[in-house]
Amino acid sequence: MREVLDEGPFFHGTKADLQTGDLLTAGFGSNYRPDVVMNHVYFTALQSGAGLAAELAPGDGAPRVYEVEPTGEFENDPNVTDRKFPGNPTRSYRTTAPLKITGEVIGWTRLTPEALATWHERLAVLRADERGEIIN
């Protein structure tokens, strides 16, 4: 029997315009290192975490937060758990199975322009620092 990591609900942030029933799959470039093709789909149980991912996602579309349902097993995201933070305070996960869109979250809290600029600066440092490698 598999240990239940989190009951959810779960969220995914992106700039893609998706519909209920659409499936998110692995095999696309990372939001944080576009040259890396991801083997997993990432999601969180925190709307704020999905909102941050949506704001930082590449592209010109509007940032969106979707409620998602894992279709298979998932694990703690090693990029933000034990390696960097004890446990899983960000309630971040990843899966090789698709995530099913169950709806769009309306009214989530957007970052201020100043906070968004700070995050973009942090990402620029991460991209320049080889120690910021993604566990894929």
Mean pLDDT taken over the chain = 84
What is the arithmetic mean of pLDDT over 48-74?
Answer: 91
Secondary structure percentages of the chain, helix, strand, coil, to 5: 20, 25, 55
State the maximum Cα–Cα separation within the chain, in Å, rounded to a whole number.
Answer: 46
Report helix, strand or coil for 56.
helix
Cα separations in angstroms, 130 against 27, 43, 114, 133, 134: 22, 24, 26, 6, 10
Q: What is the pLDDT of residue 70?
A: 96
CA–CA distance, 125 with 4 (Å, rounded to integer): 35
Q: Is the pLDDT assigned to residue 40 strictly greater than 90?
A: yes
Q: What is the pLDDT of residue 1?
A: 42
pLDDT tens digits, residue range 5-32?
Answer: 788 999 999 999 999 999 999 998 776 6
CA–CA distance, 57 with 60 (Å, rounded to integer): 9
Peptide bond into 98 cis (omega under 30): no
